[in-house]
Structure 1
Protein backbone atom coordinates (compact mmCIF):
# COMPACT_ATOMS: atom_id res chain seq x y z
CA UNK A 1 0.00 0.00 0.00
CA UNK A 2 1.23 3.49 -0.86
CA UNK A 3 1.18 5.99 2.01
CA UNK A 4 0.64 9.52 0.72
CA UNK A 5 1.66 12.13 3.27
CA UNK A 6 -0.21 15.41 3.02
CA UNK A 7 1.69 18.63 2.56
CA UNK A 8 2.77 21.31 3.32
CA UNK A 9 5.24 20.07 5.93
CA UNK A 10 5.95 22.39 8.85
CA UNK A 11 9.34 23.41 10.21
CA UNK A 12 12.47 24.40 8.33
CA UNK A 13 12.49 23.87 4.56
CA UNK A 14 15.58 21.68 4.69
CA UNK A 15 13.85 19.45 7.26
CA UNK A 16 10.75 19.25 5.05
CA UNK A 17 12.92 18.18 2.10
CA UNK A 18 14.59 15.47 4.20
CA UNK A 19 11.20 14.22 5.36
CA UNK A 20 9.74 14.05 1.84
CA UNK A 21 12.80 12.47 0.21
CA UNK A 22 11.90 9.01 -1.08
CA UNK A 23 8.33 9.17 0.24
CA UNK A 24 4.99 9.66 -1.50
CA UNK A 25 3.15 12.95 -1.10
CA UNK A 26 -0.29 14.46 -1.52
CA UNK A 27 -0.35 18.14 -2.52
CA UNK A 28 -3.59 20.09 -1.97
CA UNK A 29 -4.62 22.74 -4.50
CA UNK A 30 -5.14 25.46 -1.84
CA UNK A 31 -1.65 24.85 -0.35
CA UNK A 32 0.90 24.28 -3.10
CA UNK A 33 3.81 25.42 -0.90
CA UNK A 34 5.83 22.20 -1.21
CA UNK A 35 5.13 21.20 -4.83
CA UNK A 36 8.66 22.17 -5.92
CA UNK A 37 10.43 19.94 -3.42
CA UNK A 38 7.79 17.20 -3.81
CA UNK A 39 8.42 17.07 -7.55
CA UNK A 40 12.18 16.89 -6.94
CA UNK A 41 12.51 14.32 -4.15
CA UNK A 42 9.33 12.21 -3.82
CA UNK A 43 8.89 8.81 -5.42
CA UNK A 44 5.41 9.83 -6.54
CA UNK A 45 2.74 12.39 -5.77
CA UNK A 46 -0.98 12.95 -6.16
CA UNK A 47 -3.09 16.10 -6.20
CA UNK A 48 -6.00 16.88 -3.91
CA UNK A 49 -8.50 19.47 -5.09
CA UNK A 50 -8.88 20.65 -1.48
CA UNK A 51 -12.66 20.27 -1.53
CA UNK A 52 -12.78 19.00 2.07
CA UNK A 53 -10.87 21.91 3.61
CA UNK A 54 -12.73 24.39 1.39
CA UNK A 55 -16.03 22.79 2.41
CA UNK A 56 -15.24 23.08 6.13
CA UNK A 57 -14.56 26.81 5.64
CA UNK A 58 -17.67 27.42 3.57
CA UNK A 59 -15.76 28.28 0.39
CA UNK A 60 -16.10 27.28 -3.26
CA UNK A 61 -13.56 25.32 -5.29
CA UNK A 62 -12.06 27.00 -8.35
CA UNK A 63 -12.59 24.04 -10.68
CA UNK A 64 -11.06 25.62 -13.80
CA UNK A 65 -8.02 26.78 -11.84
CA UNK A 66 -7.55 23.30 -10.42
CA UNK A 67 -7.73 21.70 -13.86
CA UNK A 68 -5.14 24.17 -15.19
CA UNK A 69 -2.83 23.23 -12.30
CA UNK A 70 -3.20 19.52 -13.02
CA UNK A 71 -2.55 20.13 -16.73
CA UNK A 72 0.71 21.85 -15.81
CA UNK A 73 2.00 18.90 -13.78
CA UNK A 74 0.39 15.73 -15.12
CA UNK A 75 3.30 14.92 -17.46
CA UNK A 76 5.80 14.91 -14.60
CA UNK A 77 7.10 11.32 -14.14
CA UNK A 78 6.22 11.38 -10.45
CA UNK A 79 2.61 12.41 -10.99
CA UNK A 80 0.17 9.55 -10.38
CA UNK A 81 -3.32 11.04 -10.36
CA UNK A 82 -5.52 13.92 -9.26
CA UNK A 83 -8.77 13.78 -7.33
CA UNK A 84 -11.65 14.86 -9.54
CA UNK A 85 -13.48 17.88 -8.05
CA UNK A 86 -16.42 16.94 -5.86
CA UNK A 87 -19.04 18.40 -3.58
CA UNK A 88 -18.52 16.80 -0.15
CA UNK A 89 -22.16 16.85 0.95
CA UNK A 90 -23.57 17.27 -2.55
CA UNK A 91 -25.97 14.95 -4.29
CA UNK A 92 -24.90 12.28 -6.74
CA UNK A 93 -26.12 14.22 -9.76
CA UNK A 94 -23.84 17.17 -8.92
CA UNK A 95 -20.82 14.94 -8.41
CA UNK A 96 -21.49 12.91 -11.55
CA UNK A 97 -21.65 16.18 -13.50
CA UNK A 98 -18.20 17.18 -12.20
CA UNK A 99 -16.81 13.80 -13.25
CA UNK A 100 -18.30 14.20 -16.73
CA UNK A 101 -16.50 17.56 -17.09
CA UNK A 102 -13.09 16.14 -16.16
CA UNK A 103 -10.61 16.12 -19.12
CA UNK A 104 -10.11 12.52 -20.23
CA UNK A 105 -6.38 13.01 -20.90
CA UNK A 106 -5.72 13.73 -17.22
CA UNK A 107 -5.39 10.81 -14.80
CA UNK A 108 -8.31 11.52 -12.53
CA UNK A 109 -9.73 9.62 -9.56
CA UNK A 110 -13.41 10.06 -8.60
CA UNK A 111 -14.51 10.25 -4.98
CA UNK A 112 -17.30 8.13 -3.54
CA UNK A 113 -18.68 9.74 -0.38
CA UNK A 114 -19.97 7.47 2.34
CA UNK A 115 -23.37 9.22 2.38
CA UNK A 116 -23.89 8.35 -1.29
CA UNK A 117 -25.59 5.21 -2.56
CA UNK A 118 -23.86 1.86 -2.91
CA UNK A 119 -25.18 1.76 -6.46
CA UNK A 120 -23.03 4.79 -7.30
CA UNK A 121 -20.02 3.13 -5.70
CA UNK A 122 -20.52 0.01 -7.81
CA UNK A 123 -20.86 2.13 -10.93
CA UNK A 124 -17.67 4.07 -10.22
CA UNK A 125 -15.76 0.87 -9.42
CA UNK A 126 -16.85 -0.59 -12.76
CA UNK A 127 -15.86 2.51 -14.76
CA UNK A 128 -12.64 3.68 -13.10
CA UNK A 129 -9.27 2.07 -12.29
CA UNK A 130 -9.16 3.78 -8.88
CA UNK A 131 -11.90 5.13 -6.62
CA UNK A 132 -11.27 7.26 -3.53
CA UNK A 133 -13.38 6.89 -0.39
CA UNK A 134 -14.36 10.10 1.38
CA UNK A 135 -15.96 10.25 4.82
CA UNK A 136 -19.03 12.47 4.83
CA UNK A 137 -22.45 13.11 6.29
CA UNK A 138 -23.15 11.05 9.39
CA UNK A 139 -20.00 9.07 8.59
CA UNK A 140 -17.70 12.09 8.58
CA UNK A 141 -15.33 10.72 11.25
CA UNK A 142 -13.22 7.68 10.24
CA UNK A 143 -12.93 4.89 12.78
CA UNK A 144 -16.22 5.25 14.65
CA UNK A 145 -18.52 2.25 15.06
CA UNK A 146 -21.10 3.63 12.63
CA UNK A 147 -18.35 4.49 10.14
CA UNK A 148 -17.04 0.92 10.20
CA UNK A 149 -20.55 -0.42 9.63
CA UNK A 150 -20.94 1.79 6.56
CA UNK A 151 -17.47 0.87 5.26
CA UNK A 152 -18.34 -2.79 5.72
CA UNK A 153 -21.43 -2.36 3.58
CA UNK A 154 -19.34 -0.58 0.93
CA UNK A 155 -16.71 -3.33 0.89
CA UNK A 156 -19.39 -6.00 0.62
CA UNK A 157 -20.85 -4.14 -2.36
CA UNK A 158 -17.68 -3.99 -4.47
CA UNK A 159 -15.63 -7.01 -3.35
CA UNK A 160 -16.08 -10.47 -4.84
CA UNK A 161 -16.64 -13.65 -2.86
CA UNK A 162 -12.89 -13.82 -2.20
CA UNK A 163 -12.74 -10.29 -0.81
CA UNK A 164 -11.06 -8.70 -3.85
CA UNK A 165 -12.24 -5.17 -4.75
CA UNK A 166 -13.40 -4.44 -8.30
CA UNK A 167 -10.84 -1.62 -8.66
CA UNK A 168 -8.04 0.01 -6.70
CA UNK A 169 -9.19 1.88 -3.61
CA UNK A 170 -7.78 5.01 -1.96
CA UNK A 171 -8.71 6.08 1.57
CA UNK A 172 -8.99 9.85 2.06
CA UNK A 173 -7.88 10.84 5.58
CA UNK A 174 -7.49 7.13 6.35
CA UNK A 175 -3.71 6.72 6.72
CA UNK A 176 -4.14 5.16 10.15
CA UNK A 177 -2.94 1.57 10.73
CA UNK A 178 -5.98 0.85 12.88
CA UNK A 179 -8.05 1.56 9.76
CA UNK A 180 -6.10 0.57 6.65
CA UNK A 181 -4.81 -2.74 8.06
CA UNK A 182 -8.40 -4.04 7.82
CA UNK A 183 -9.19 -2.74 4.32
CA UNK A 184 -7.91 -3.70 0.83
CA UNK A 185 -6.59 -0.22 0.04
CA UNK A 186 -4.04 0.38 -2.70
CA UNK A 187 -3.24 3.72 -1.06
CA UNK A 188 -4.35 6.14 1.63
CA UNK A 189 -3.45 9.62 2.82
CA UNK A 190 -3.39 11.88 5.85
CA UNK A 191 -1.67 15.00 7.17
CA UNK A 192 -0.77 13.24 10.42
CA UNK A 193 3.02 13.44 10.00
CA UNK A 194 3.05 16.95 8.54
CA UNK A 195 0.76 18.39 11.21
CA UNK A 196 1.87 16.48 14.31
CA UNK A 197 5.57 16.72 13.56
CA UNK A 198 5.30 20.16 15.12
CA UNK A 199 3.89 18.76 18.36
CA UNK A 200 6.52 18.12 21.03
CA UNK A 201 3.84 17.11 23.54
CA UNK A 202 2.99 14.09 21.40
CA UNK A 203 6.45 12.66 22.13
CA UNK A 204 7.10 13.87 25.68
CA UNK A 205 10.51 14.61 27.16
CA UNK A 206 12.34 12.37 24.65
CA UNK A 207 10.98 14.13 21.58
CA UNK A 208 13.32 14.41 18.55
CA UNK A 209 14.67 17.99 18.42
CA UNK A 210 13.20 19.16 15.09
CA UNK A 211 9.76 19.07 13.50
CA UNK A 212 11.18 17.25 10.48
CA UNK A 213 12.65 14.50 12.63
CA UNK A 214 9.39 14.11 14.53
CA UNK A 215 7.48 13.91 11.24
CA UNK A 216 9.88 11.18 10.11
CA UNK A 217 9.20 9.16 13.25
CA UNK A 218 5.42 9.41 12.74
CA UNK A 219 5.67 8.47 9.05
CA UNK A 220 8.00 5.54 9.75
CA UNK A 221 5.57 4.15 12.31
CA UNK A 222 2.72 4.40 9.80
CA UNK A 223 4.72 2.85 6.96
CA UNK A 224 5.70 -0.11 9.13
CA UNK A 225 2.19 -1.42 8.44
CA UNK A 226 0.33 -2.23 5.24
CA UNK A 227 -3.25 -2.73 4.14
CA UNK A 228 -5.16 -5.98 4.09
CA UNK A 229 -4.86 -7.82 0.74
CA UNK A 230 -8.57 -8.68 0.84
CA UNK A 231 -11.78 -7.71 2.63
CA UNK A 232 -12.64 -10.25 5.31
CA UNK A 233 -16.39 -10.04 5.75
CA UNK A 234 -16.38 -11.75 9.12
CA UNK A 235 -14.44 -8.80 10.56
CA UNK A 236 -17.28 -6.38 9.85
CA UNK A 237 -19.27 -7.07 13.02
CA UNK A 238 -16.15 -7.02 15.18
CA UNK A 239 -14.93 -3.69 13.80
CA UNK A 240 -18.35 -2.06 14.17
CA UNK A 241 -18.58 -2.84 17.88
Structure 2
Protein backbone atom coordinates (compact mmCIF):
# COMPACT_ATOMS: atom_id res chain seq x y z
CA UNK A 1 0.00 0.00 0.00
CA UNK A 2 2.91 2.36 0.66
CA UNK A 3 4.06 1.86 -2.93
CA UNK A 4 0.58 2.60 -4.24
CA UNK A 5 0.31 5.78 -2.16
CA UNK A 6 3.66 6.86 -3.61
CA UNK A 7 2.32 6.23 -7.13
CA UNK A 8 4.58 3.23 -7.75
CA UNK A 9 3.87 -0.40 -8.59
CA UNK A 10 5.15 -3.01 -6.16
CA UNK A 11 8.49 -4.55 -6.97
CA UNK A 12 7.74 -8.05 -8.32
CA UNK A 13 10.77 -9.57 -6.55
CA UNK A 14 9.80 -8.04 -3.21
CA UNK A 15 6.20 -9.17 -3.64
CA UNK A 16 7.35 -12.70 -4.46
CA UNK A 17 9.53 -12.79 -1.33
CA UNK A 18 6.63 -11.66 0.89
CA UNK A 19 4.22 -14.15 -0.63
CA UNK A 20 6.67 -17.04 -0.36
CA UNK A 21 7.18 -16.23 3.32
CA UNK A 22 3.39 -16.17 3.76
CA UNK A 23 3.09 -19.55 2.03
CA UNK A 24 5.84 -21.07 4.21
CA UNK A 25 4.06 -19.78 7.32
CA UNK A 26 0.73 -21.29 6.16
CA UNK A 27 2.11 -24.66 5.03
CA UNK A 28 2.06 -26.43 8.42
CA UNK A 29 -1.33 -25.08 9.49
CA UNK A 30 -3.52 -24.63 6.41
CA UNK A 31 -4.50 -28.25 5.87
CA UNK A 32 -6.40 -28.64 9.14
CA UNK A 33 -10.12 -29.16 8.53
CA UNK A 34 -12.03 -25.96 7.95
CA UNK A 35 -8.98 -23.72 7.70
CA UNK A 36 -8.55 -21.25 4.91
CA UNK A 37 -6.52 -18.12 4.29
CA UNK A 38 -6.77 -14.99 2.20
CA UNK A 39 -5.10 -15.32 -1.17
CA UNK A 40 -2.68 -12.45 -1.76
CA UNK A 41 -3.29 -10.03 -4.58
CA UNK A 42 -2.30 -6.57 -5.75
CA UNK A 43 -4.67 -3.87 -4.51
CA UNK A 44 -5.58 -1.35 -7.21
CA UNK A 45 -4.27 -3.66 -9.94
CA UNK A 46 -6.50 -4.54 -12.88
CA UNK A 47 -8.73 -7.54 -12.25
CA UNK A 48 -7.00 -9.47 -15.04
CA UNK A 49 -3.70 -9.24 -13.16
CA UNK A 50 -5.27 -10.32 -9.88
CA UNK A 51 -7.11 -13.18 -11.61
CA UNK A 52 -3.76 -14.38 -12.96
CA UNK A 53 -2.17 -14.17 -9.50
CA UNK A 54 -4.80 -16.55 -8.12
CA UNK A 55 -3.13 -19.33 -10.12
CA UNK A 56 -0.04 -18.97 -7.89
CA UNK A 57 -1.96 -20.04 -4.76
CA UNK A 58 -0.34 -23.35 -3.74
CA UNK A 59 -3.04 -24.73 -1.41
CA UNK A 60 -6.03 -25.26 -3.69
CA UNK A 61 -9.37 -23.45 -3.82
CA UNK A 62 -10.84 -25.07 -0.70
CA UNK A 63 -8.09 -23.55 1.47
CA UNK A 64 -8.07 -20.09 -0.05
CA UNK A 65 -10.34 -17.12 -0.47
CA UNK A 66 -9.64 -14.51 -3.15
CA UNK A 67 -10.38 -10.85 -2.49
CA UNK A 68 -12.90 -8.94 -4.54
CA UNK A 69 -12.11 -5.25 -4.17
CA UNK A 70 -15.30 -3.24 -4.26
CA UNK A 71 -13.99 -0.85 -6.91
CA UNK A 72 -14.08 -3.81 -9.32
CA UNK A 73 -16.97 -5.07 -11.37
CA UNK A 74 -19.68 -7.08 -9.70
CA UNK A 75 -19.31 -9.52 -12.60
CA UNK A 76 -15.83 -10.39 -11.31
CA UNK A 77 -17.32 -11.13 -7.90
CA UNK A 78 -19.72 -13.51 -9.64
CA UNK A 79 -16.85 -15.27 -11.43
CA UNK A 80 -14.91 -15.63 -8.16
CA UNK A 81 -17.99 -17.09 -6.47
CA UNK A 82 -18.27 -19.70 -9.23
CA UNK A 83 -14.65 -20.76 -8.76
CA UNK A 84 -14.10 -20.57 -4.96
CA UNK A 85 -16.10 -21.84 -1.98
CA UNK A 86 -15.74 -18.47 -0.22
CA UNK A 87 -14.74 -14.97 -1.33
CA UNK A 88 -13.48 -12.02 0.70
CA UNK A 89 -14.81 -8.53 0.05
CA UNK A 90 -12.48 -5.59 0.50
CA UNK A 91 -13.76 -2.02 0.70
CA UNK A 92 -11.56 0.50 -1.12
CA UNK A 93 -12.75 3.80 0.32
CA UNK A 94 -10.52 6.09 2.34
CA UNK A 95 -11.11 4.90 5.92
CA UNK A 96 -11.26 8.47 7.23
CA UNK A 97 -13.53 9.89 4.52
CA UNK A 98 -15.47 6.82 3.39
CA UNK A 99 -15.30 4.09 6.04
CA UNK A 100 -16.86 0.67 5.63
CA UNK A 101 -20.60 1.20 5.98
CA UNK A 102 -20.73 4.66 4.37
CA UNK A 103 -23.33 5.44 1.70
CA UNK A 104 -20.94 4.58 -1.18
CA UNK A 105 -20.24 1.21 0.45
CA UNK A 106 -23.97 0.54 0.83
CA UNK A 107 -24.66 1.47 -2.80
CA UNK A 108 -22.06 -1.08 -3.92
CA UNK A 109 -23.51 -3.67 -1.55
CA UNK A 110 -26.91 -3.05 -3.15
CA UNK A 111 -25.31 -4.20 -6.45
CA UNK A 112 -23.91 -7.25 -4.66
CA UNK A 113 -27.37 -8.03 -3.29
CA UNK A 114 -28.80 -8.01 -6.82
CA UNK A 115 -26.07 -10.43 -7.95
CA UNK A 116 -26.57 -12.74 -4.98
CA UNK A 117 -30.35 -12.78 -5.04
CA UNK A 118 -31.99 -14.91 -2.35
CA UNK A 119 -29.02 -17.24 -1.82
CA UNK A 120 -25.79 -15.53 -0.93
CA UNK A 121 -22.47 -17.19 -1.65
CA UNK A 122 -20.24 -17.48 1.46
CA UNK A 123 -18.66 -14.01 1.73
CA UNK A 124 -16.16 -12.76 4.30
CA UNK A 125 -16.07 -8.97 4.86
CA UNK A 126 -12.54 -7.67 5.39
CA UNK A 127 -12.37 -4.98 8.08
CA UNK A 128 -16.10 -5.34 8.32
CA UNK A 129 -17.14 -5.83 11.92
CA UNK A 130 -19.11 -2.57 11.73
CA UNK A 131 -21.37 -4.08 9.03
CA UNK A 132 -21.06 -7.76 9.94
CA UNK A 133 -24.75 -8.09 10.79
CA UNK A 134 -26.07 -5.78 8.06
CA UNK A 135 -25.58 -8.38 5.33
CA UNK A 136 -25.49 -12.20 5.32
CA UNK A 137 -21.71 -12.52 5.57
CA UNK A 138 -20.34 -15.82 6.86
CA UNK A 139 -17.68 -13.87 8.77
CA UNK A 140 -15.97 -10.52 9.13
CA UNK A 141 -12.75 -9.29 10.65
CA UNK A 142 -11.21 -6.11 11.94
CA UNK A 143 -7.71 -4.81 12.37
CA UNK A 144 -8.92 -2.67 15.26
CA UNK A 145 -8.18 -5.24 17.97
CA UNK A 146 -4.64 -5.84 16.69
CA UNK A 147 -3.95 -2.12 16.31
CA UNK A 148 -5.73 -0.79 19.39
CA UNK A 149 -6.04 -3.66 21.88
CA UNK A 150 -2.99 -2.54 23.85
CA UNK A 151 -4.85 0.65 24.77
CA UNK A 152 -7.24 -1.38 26.89
CA UNK A 153 -4.56 -3.18 28.91
CA UNK A 154 -4.12 -2.14 32.50
CA UNK A 155 -1.09 -2.71 34.75
CA UNK A 156 -3.47 -3.52 37.59
CA UNK A 157 -5.06 -6.34 35.59
CA UNK A 158 -1.62 -7.95 35.27
CA UNK A 159 -1.19 -7.75 39.05
CA UNK A 160 -4.56 -9.41 39.64
CA UNK A 161 -3.89 -12.15 37.09
CA UNK A 162 -6.17 -10.82 34.37
CA UNK A 163 -3.48 -9.50 32.03
CA UNK A 164 -5.74 -9.70 28.97
CA UNK A 165 -9.05 -8.68 30.58
CA UNK A 166 -9.12 -5.19 29.04
CA UNK A 167 -8.21 -6.50 25.62
CA UNK A 168 -10.82 -9.27 25.93
CA UNK A 169 -13.50 -6.75 26.88
CA UNK A 170 -12.60 -4.69 23.79
CA UNK A 171 -12.75 -7.82 21.60
CA UNK A 172 -16.14 -8.69 23.08
CA UNK A 173 -17.40 -5.20 22.30
CA UNK A 174 -16.16 -5.44 18.70
CA UNK A 175 -17.87 -8.79 18.22
CA UNK A 176 -21.14 -7.89 19.92
CA UNK A 177 -23.96 -8.35 17.42
CA UNK A 178 -25.37 -5.03 16.36
CA UNK A 179 -29.02 -4.59 15.45
CA UNK A 180 -29.55 -6.11 12.04
CA UNK A 181 -30.25 -3.44 9.42
CA UNK A 182 -30.40 -5.43 6.21
CA UNK A 183 -30.81 -3.31 3.14
CA UNK A 184 -32.71 -4.80 0.28
CA UNK A 185 -31.98 -3.91 -3.32
CA UNK A 186 -34.83 -2.22 -5.13
Partner of 1:151: 109
Q: CA separation in 2, counterparts of 1:54 and 1:69?
A: 24
1:189 aligns with 2:141: yes
Q: Indicate if the aligned counterparts of 1:109 and 1:130 stay in contact, CA closer than 8 A.
A: yes
Q: CA separation in 2, counterparts of 1:227 and 1:74?
A: 34
Q: TM-score, normalised by structure 2?
A: 0.75
For structure 1, the 5+ residue unaligned runs are: 1-51, 237-241
Per the TM alignment, residue 222 of structure 1 is displaced from its structure 2 partner at its CA by: 3.0
Deviation string 1:128-179 (CA, Å, 9 cap, x unpaired) is 110000112679731221121112212222x22x3x21x2110101112xx1
* Structure whose residues are more often helix by fraction: 2
Q: CA separation in 2, counterparts of 1:149 and 1:215?
A: 34
Q: CA separation in 2, counterparts of 1:150 and 1:68?
A: 35
Which has the higher relative contact order, 1 or 2, with Cα contacts under 8 A spaced 6 or more apart?
Answer: 1
Partner of 1:121: 77
Q: 1:182/1:137 Cα in 2 relative to 1: closer, same or farther (>3 Å)? A: closer
Partner residue of 1:73 out of 29, 46, 49: 29
Q: What is the RMSD computed on CA atoms of the aligned residues?
A: 3.4
Q: How does 1:1-241 map to 2 (within 5 A)?
A: 60-61=14-15, 62-76=18-32, 80-105=35-60, 107-136=63-92, 141-157=99-115, 159-160=116-117, 162=118, 164-165=119-120, 167-176=121-130, 179-199=131-151, 209=157, 212-225=164-177, 232-233=183-184
For structure 2, the 5+ residue unaligned runs are: none
Deviates more, 1:128-137 or 1:139-148: 139-148
Q: Indicate if the aligned counterparts of 1:133 and 1:169 stay in contact, CA closer than 8 A.
A: yes
Q: TM-score, normalised by structure 1?
A: 0.60
Q: 1:53/1:143 Cα in 2 relative to 1: closer, same or farther (>3 Å)? A: farther
